[in-house]
């Protein structure tokens, strides 16, 4: 221990959780006893939300394995590719009936070309044949549930048909499947507004920076005072193998990081949005969903494509719940 602020934090964290299980104490003890020197400075100005607009998913499908799922790209070959390319050309020149025929033939050549089903639906949408578009988007989703585009465009069909609740369900699934897509987010806002939900695109944004000095090995942390405990748990995870082994999964790590915000909950939740949201989440016993949707998927959006359907739908329900006014 080489830092007075860190010494005070270790004392305060013990007092703050004196009468309940102390989720931070192990991390703080490891930091305190580490051969690595940790220093903390308080943040002088807010850290902006990172630009994740390019961290988006593309259309893929998945195959079941003994360990879960494997993601596969759509790569038509041979005759299927020729037909698919012809369909794309017809689509681009607004010859939608011919495009449908070519997509159908391509799908016959390659039954795993599930995106062709989505594009067939899209041709009907371009012709404003909404019932047929709805039918084919549902077929696309049945064939490949993780096709975010099918959910997205089905939501748009429901919006046009005045079926607001159905549109809300589908756009929320699409949002889970492609967390950072800016065009999808614009549609999400419209549909949420139609349903009386918040349009705000709130983003979890820890006010923490840390780096390791390459010469000395010392770890330098800069954090807002409210995020100081969070920062040290994150540092223990990142730089202390003993703690990382104990903490285990990402979800457990973030649970312990978030517990570092609890001492500030009562005094700051009225003015700090992350605290008010965390308070609401804890009251509703939705911390696991909060961690997965608000934190993990932000920087790892492709993980959503590996979830079971019921897990995706649970995150969809969380997203809707979190944005109710």
Encode pLDDT of 248-286 as tens digits: 788 888 988 898 888 888 899 999 999 999 999 999 999
Cα separation, 306 vs 210, in Å, equals: 31
pLDDT of residue 32: 86
User: In the predicted model, what is the mean pLDDT of the chain?
Assistant: 92
pLDDT classification of 97: cutoffs 50, 70, 90 = very high
pLDDT of residue 10: 45
285: left (phi over 0), alpha (psi -120 to 50) or beta: left
Range 185-197 average pLDDT: 98
Secondary structure class of 185 (helix, strand, coil): helix
Phi, psi of 122 (to 5 degrees): -65, -35
CA 137 to chain centre: 23
Q: Residue 41 pLDDT > 70, yes or no?
A: yes
Phi, psi of 221 (to 5 degrees): -115, 135
Torsion of CA 56, 59, 62, 68, to 10 degrees: 10
pLDDT of residue 52: 98
pLDDT classification of 25: cutoffs 50, 70, 90 = confident
As given in the structure block, the two tokens for residue 226 are 């409210």
pLDDT classification of 23: cutoffs 50, 70, 90 = low
| Overall pTM > 0.85 | yes
Range 35-50 average pLDDT: 95
For the chain, the 3-state helix, strand and coil shares in percent, each to the nearest 5, are: 60, 10, 30
Helices (H) and strands (E) counted in the chain, each on its own, are 17, 5
| Tens digit of each residue's pLDDT (9 = 90 or more) over 293-317 | 999 999 999 999 999 999 999 999 9
pLDDT of residue 22: 60
pLDDT of residue 229: 87
Q: Which residue has the higher pLDDT, 57 or 19?
A: 57
Range 7-14 average pLDDT: 42
DSSP for 10-65, written as a single string? HHHHHHHTTTS--SSHHHHHHHHH-SS-EEEEE-SSPPPPP--TT------EEEEE
Q: Which residue has the higher pLDDT, 237 or 130?
A: 130
Stretch (H or E) spanning 208: strand 208-212
pLDDT classification of 94: cutoffs 50, 70, 90 = very high
Cα separation, 140 vs 107, in Å, equals: 12
| Tens digit of each residue's pLDDT (9 = 90 or more) over 152-167 | 999 999 999 999 999 9
In the chain the first and final C-alpha atoms are separated, in Å, by 46
Phi, psi of 72 (to 5 degrees): -125, 140
Q: Residue 186 pLDDT > 90, yes or no?
A: yes
pLDDT classification of 5: cutoffs 50, 70, 90 = very low
Strands (E), 164-203: none
Structural domains of the chain, with CATH: 4-35+229-283 (no CATH), 61-194 (1.25.40.10)
Q: Residue 68 pLDDT > 70, yes or no?
A: yes
pLDDT of residue 259: 86
């Amino acid at each position: 221990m080489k830092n007075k602020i860190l010494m005070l934090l270790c004392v305060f964290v013990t007092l703050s959780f004196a009468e309940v299980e102390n989720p931070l104490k192990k991390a703080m003890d490891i930091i305190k006893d580490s051969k690595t020197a940790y220093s903390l400075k308080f943040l002088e100005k807010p850290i902006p939300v990172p630009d994740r607009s390019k961290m988006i998913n593309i259309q893929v499908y998945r195959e079941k394995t003994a360990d879960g799922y494997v993601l596969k790209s759509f790569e038509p070959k041979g005759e299927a590719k020729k037909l698919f390319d012809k369909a794309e050309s017809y689509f681009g020149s607004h010859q939608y009936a011919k495009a449908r025929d070519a997509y159908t033939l391509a799908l016959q050549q390659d039954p795993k070309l599930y995106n062709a089903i989505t594009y067939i639906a899209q041709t009907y949408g371009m012709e404003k044949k909404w019932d047929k578009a709805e039918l084919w988007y549902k077929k696309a989703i049945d064939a490949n549930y993780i096709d975010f585009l099918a959910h997205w465009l089905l939501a748009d069909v429901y919006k046009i048909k005045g079926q607001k609740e159905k549109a809300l369900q589908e756009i929320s699934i699409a949002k889970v499947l492609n967390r950072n897509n800016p065009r999808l987010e614009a549609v999400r806002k419209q549909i949420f507004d139609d349903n009386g939900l918040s349009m705000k695109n709130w983003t979890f944004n820890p006010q923490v920076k840390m780096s390791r000095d390459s010469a000395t090995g010392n770890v330098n942390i800069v954090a807002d005072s409210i995020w100081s405990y969070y920062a040290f748990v994150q540092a223990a995870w990142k730089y202390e193998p003993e703690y990382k082994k104990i903490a285990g999964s990402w979800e457990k790590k973030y649970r312990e990081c978030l517990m570092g915000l609890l001492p500030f909950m009562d005094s700051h939740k009225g003015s700090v949005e992350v605290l008010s949201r965390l308070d609401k989440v804890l009251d509703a016993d939705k911390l696991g969903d909060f961690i997965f949707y608000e934190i993990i998927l932000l920087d790892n959006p492709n993980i959503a494509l590996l979830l079971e359907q019921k897990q995706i739908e649970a995150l969809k329900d969380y997203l809707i719940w979190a944005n109710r006014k």
